[in-house]
Structure 1
Amino acid sequence: MTLTAQEQLIEVLDVAEALLTRRAGAAVSLGDPEDLGGTGRSTVLRVRLVENPLAIGRTVVIKMIDDDAPAAPFLREVAAYRYATALPTSSRPGPQLLAADPESRLLILTDLGSGRSMTELLGEDTEAATRGVSAWGQALGRMHAATVGGEEDFTILLHHTAGDRSHDEVARQAEAARDAASALTDRLGIGLSPRLAAELAAGCDLFTGGELRAFSPSDVGPENILLTDDGVQFMDYEFGAFRDATLDVAYALVTFPALLAETAVPRRAELEKALVDAWRSEVRPLWPVVERGGDLTQRLLTARTLWVWLSTYWMVAGGSGGRDWALHTGDARVVLTRWADLADAARRAGDDELAAAADELGRALHLFWFE
């Protein structure tokens, strides 16, 4: 029998009340649900704690994954939230996990409140965008610094929570895009440049290797960032993993320009620098290598090339890969701008070979889509 929307809502609240009651050892009741939207595979609600023996605020957030969605991302998200919740309060990158029920695929999280979204800040003006990207970079750096050396703990949590049912979907998507590079560039009529092939291979290696390993929720784009009185908060942990931290910084560099106010667009190179400098200020004591500007610049170019290529792969190859990620776009102009920005960043770094490869891809894509 198919449940109505009202019946589903009642079921969600019943499960959440039971979970919180077990945690509190006393009755907890919930009311006044507010739909916060979801990714298309989940329902997210803010609910009021009517009877609240827990000192966790007046409201909580409930996230329930649809029955027809794959289980692996939910199990990984549970493990990621458990890992992040165990960090010192000042180091938590986002909401705290209060309870989880794998059978019903339900999470209960602390409510961070409304705050301001990063997308709103970026679109306001140049000054607001500068504040936003600087806070973003600092928050990434604090998260990375707080989790250095914690990979084994996370791996144990992931194995305990998901067993062999969880895999790193982001790494899998990146590898699929890398493996399709030759066929896709042939389709564009230019062939795959050796330099681009090398950058894509090196970028994929950052998921399993790299010197700067730390925890990441993975989809750290503007849509998943809330600015509250406690600073930047990262949302959505279903792809949480340990990997080289430059992947996060580069993800930010690739995803923020499309959301900038028109007046801030000409300043995006300065905004990139502000974000990177803010991140570097937080991780410098742990990773002295970030002080070697040339080394860091090249690492970021490698990671950035991978993300730009992945968004291009999704756009050209089609399919549903990454559709819920901040990196994903259905706008060809955004993809073309990403290649142009990558070329400009490479030129500023003195990497003319990568700049030429990025320019060539941009021209081929423009012909493919518009001529």
Structure 2
Amino acid sequence: MARETAADDDRTASALAAASAAVGLPLTDPVDLGGSERSLVLRARGADRDDETVVVKQFLPARGDGPAADTPDGYVRELVGLRTLDAAPDLLAHDDASRLLVMTDAGTWPTLADLLLAPGAPTDRDRAWAESLSWAGTLGRTVAESASRASHVRRLLDEHGARDEDVAALLSRGAHALDDLAGGTADDDRARLDDEVARMAALFAPGAADVVSPTDTCPDNALRTPSGWTFLDLEGTSVHHLALDAAYTLLPFATCWCVFDAPHGYPDALLEAFEDGARPHLPGVVDGAGWRTEVLTACGAYVLAAGAWLLASAHEDRPTVGPEGRSPSYRELLVQRWRWGSAHLRDELPATAALCAAALHAADERWGGTHGPGPYRAFSRTTPTPI
């Protein structure tokens, strides 16, 4: 333990020294903000800036050997995101050699997750609903107004080695995982499912509806400051179809741990707020004839991806996807996704909807019951109708 503490202290001191050099003023009083195995995140005080605080984020080498240990992916993506996207912290300085960023401090305001998981008093419910719509509108505006920079950002990411995952392979793994759970599907059904997977993967290919997105737009990465929403943790910044961000509203919240049963009307209201925010910048996309089909297709992609990412942990019956006491279990989250997919994808993605229904049935038998996560705490006293 003492060795770990000493190593942490050395790492903090090294990051603070590099950040001070990058920003050109001494930074003091570092406070560890948590970070992850991938990064060290500090709040520090600028001695020559009237004690204004900044945030220092240093990307750490991956553990182990191999190419991943030296990948610039997260650092490059966050650097590009901070330079490109509004409603994000301002980039103050960076050091490529240290993979270190210095940015403005957005403060200690509540996240959208905090608001959704508030106790559930009438004021909590009203605020969670209103601020959710505000969040969705800000997300729609922020990503849509980046569309003119999308092709440039895509080239920039590629030139710096931040290459996108093989989405078709990921979705195929998710489909196979659900198929294995369900006991296999007929060849004709498999062919239809493959066609739907190809449609989902096409949303990640370059196109006229491309935007620059933080990508990981989960409620815990959105801070409600007095001036509006600020999106944090841009290390997944990427370029893709606008519908993939809209899916974070209709399938709240596509890749997050903060997944519970939403009250009646909530997802549709979020999507409409997102569309209102995006429309001034991409009216031809949002008002296009195939827009809602594209959004549902994006939702289907996230449902299948969840199977690839989470099903092994669900088989192990791991208790929480995110923070203990604030998130559902892996099984509860997947059940919620499959229940949603079987009900909402029947018209646009019938093979995917059927696979979700089959996975639900198999999970019920294998896991001894399929229970969803229940309502968001802020809405828990409104007797919500699950989505």
Which TM-score tier does this pair reach, normalised by the shorter chain?
0.7 to 0.9
Q: Please, which runs of 5 or more residues in structure 2 have no aligned partner?
A: 315-320, 370-387
Q: Any conservation in 1 of the 2:259–2:333 contact (CA below 8 Å)?
A: no
Q: Any conservation in 2 of the 1:178–1:201 contact (CA below 8 Å)?
A: no
1:288 alignment counterpart: 284
Q: Does 1:108 align with 2:102?
A: yes
1:362 alignment counterpart: 360
CA distance in 2, matches of 1:350, 1:74: 37
1:20 to 19, 23, 47: 23
Q: Does 1:188 align with 2:182?
A: yes
| TM-aligned CA distance change 1:350 to 1:302, over 3 Å | closer
State the one-letter code of the partner of 2:295. Answer: L
1:136 alignment counterpart: 135
CA distance in 1, matches of 2:58, 2:348: 48
Deviation digits for residues 277-336 of structure 1 (CA, Å, limit 9, x no counterpart): 0111122232234235x73222111111111111112222469xxx99xxx985111111
| TM-aligned CA distance change 1:329 to 1:314, over 3 Å | farther
SS of the residue corresponding to residue 32 of structure 1 reads strand
Deviates more, 1:305-314 or 1:182-191: 182-191
Shift of 1:369: 3.4
Deviates more, 1:294-303 or 1:182-191: 182-191
Deviates more, 1:217-226 or 1:181-190: 181-190
Q: Please, which runs of 5 or more residues in structure 1 have no aligned partner?
A: 22-27, 85-91
CA distance in 2, matches of 1:187, 1:334: 16
1:25 alignment counterpart: none
Q: Report the structure, 1 or 2, having the larger helix content.
A: 1
Q: Does 1:315 align with 2:310?
A: yes
| TM-aligned CA distance change 1:238 to 1:118, over 3 Å | same
Q: Give the structure-2-normalised TM-score.
A: 0.77
2:83 alignment counterpart: 82
1:247 to 244, 247, 271: 244
Q: Any conservation in 1 of the 2:174–2:304 contact (CA below 8 Å)?
A: no
SS of the residue corresponding to residue 57 of structure 2 reads strand
- CA RMSD across the alignment: 3.1
Q: Does 1:234 align with 2:231?
A: yes
Shift of 1:77: 2.1
SS of the residue corresponding to residue 116 of structure 1 reads coil
Deviation digits for residues 49-84 of structure 1 (CA, Å, limit 9, x no counterpart): 11239xxx8110001122336432222222232233
Identity of aligned residues (%): 29
Q: Any conservation in 1 of the 2:145–2:278 contact (CA below 8 Å)?
A: no
Q: Does 1:36 align with 2:33?
A: yes
Q: Does 1:166 align with 2:162?
A: yes
| Pairing of 1:313-352 with structure 2 (within 5 A) | 313-317=308-312, 331-346=330-345
State the one-letter code of the partner of 1:291. Answer: D
| TM-aligned CA distance change 1:156 to 1:148, over 3 Å | same
Deviates more, 1:201-210 or 1:176-185: 176-185
| TM-aligned CA distance change 1:291 to 1:10, over 3 Å | same
Shift of 1:216: 0.3
1:123 alignment counterpart: 117
SS of the residue corresponding to residue 343 of structure 1 reads helix
SS of the residue corresponding to residue 44 of structure 1 reads strand
Aligned length: 339
| TM-aligned CA distance change 1:205 to 1:60, over 3 Å | same
Deviation digits for residues 132-159 of structure 1 (CA, Å, limit 9, x no counterpart): 3211211121112311121232134435
| TM-aligned CA distance change 1:154 to 1:209, over 3 Å | closer
Deviates more, 1:356-365 or 1:8-17: 356-365
Deviates more, 1:230-239 or 1:213-222: 230-239
2:198 alignment counterpart: 201
1:272 alignment counterpart: 267
Q: Does 1:177 align with 2:171?
A: yes
